[in-house]
Structure 1
Amino acid sequence: MTATSREVVEQILRASREQNTETFVNLFAADGYIEWPYLPAGMPDRVEGRDQIREFLTARANGLVKFDEYRNTVIHETTDSEVVIVEYEAHGTVIPTGAPLHQTIVAVLRIRDGLVVSYRDYLNPLVLAEALAGIGNV
């Protein structure tokens, strides 16, 4: 039985928090993508396909931040059974500096046949820019 859109979002959040790259990537359709509409300059605004998503997570994202927990998570199911909106606060650490990180996120996901086809991540770019500046990447 195929997971519901809500169940897929719950699995994505768990894999993300645990930095379980393979589980995270395998929840995407082969041509699925992640998009960040508001990232600081120098960061990719979109990665597409399982291979690019895996490469991005392995080469850049997983070495940047370790999330300890997600708080105040609210999952909104919409009238379109494929679309789910999730709000949460991510609490963790900037790995290279040890500085704490608190990021508020709203994400819009489209799930089809139990796989993510699009993931639009509206994180706070100011928090990310500050974290990157602390390690000399921006």
Structure 2
Amino acid sequence: MSTSRTPAELLDRRRQVILDGDAEGFAALFAPDAVIDMPFEGTPDAPLRIEGQEAIRDYAQRMMNSPVRIEEFDVTALHQTQDSEVLVVEMRTIGTVTTTGKPFSVTSVQILHLRDGLITLFRAYGDPRVLAQAGR
């Protein structure tokens, strides 16, 4: 399914569905064969890798039902690359872990590959210690 979303519109939509807790809307931003890679999440031997829109939907639902509540999710910098289908995004995420009441703030760098207005590859590089310290 092709869409005419610009990268900025896609990022705005992603922000909104995350803040709204809309797992279905989040998954709809991804191509059917999309991949999410989070090299610093999971375990050292098995970093988190999610393949396919259905698996992304399931992952998003689990995350949105978790005790991590995101209150702010903002692009602090957007870097265009020589490839118009590749974006480098610096993000700031602020929230609370509801089971501990502890707030967290994390900055991450995300690399997004786009095709026809949908995300085909999403790589996130953030510090996983932040949520661990907040008691996730």
Question: Same-fold call, TM > 0.5?
Answer: yes
C-alpha RMSD of matched pairs (Å): 2.0
**Paired residues, what number?**
132
- The alpha carbon displacement at 1:39 in A equals 1.4
Moved over 4 A (4+): none
Matched, 1:66 2:53: no
- The alpha carbon displacement at 1:129 in A equals 2.9
* DSSP 3-state at the match of 2:39: coil
Q: 1:34 to 1:64 in 2, by over 3 A?
A: farther
Kept in 2, the 8 Å contact 1:75–1:87? The answer is yes
Q: What is the alpha-carbon distance in structure 1 between the residues aligned to residue 74 and residue 60 of structure 2?
A: 22
Q: 1:72 to 1:32 in 2, by over 3 A?
A: closer
- Report which of the two has the higher share of strand: 2
- Please, which runs of 5 or more residues in structure 2 have no aligned partner? none
- Please, which runs of 5 or more residues in structure 1 have no aligned partner? none
Residue of structure 1 in register with 2:84 after alignment: 81
TM-score by length of 2: 0.85
- The alpha carbon displacement at 1:86 in A equals 0.9
Q: What is the alpha-carbon distance in structure 2 between the residues aligned to residue 6 and residue 86 of structure 1?
A: 11
Within 5 Å, give how 1:8-27 maps onto structure 2. 8-27=10-29
Residue of structure 2 in register with 1:37 after alignment: 39
Residue of structure 2 in register with 1:120 after alignment: 123
Kept in 2, the 8 Å contact 1:30–1:50? The answer is yes
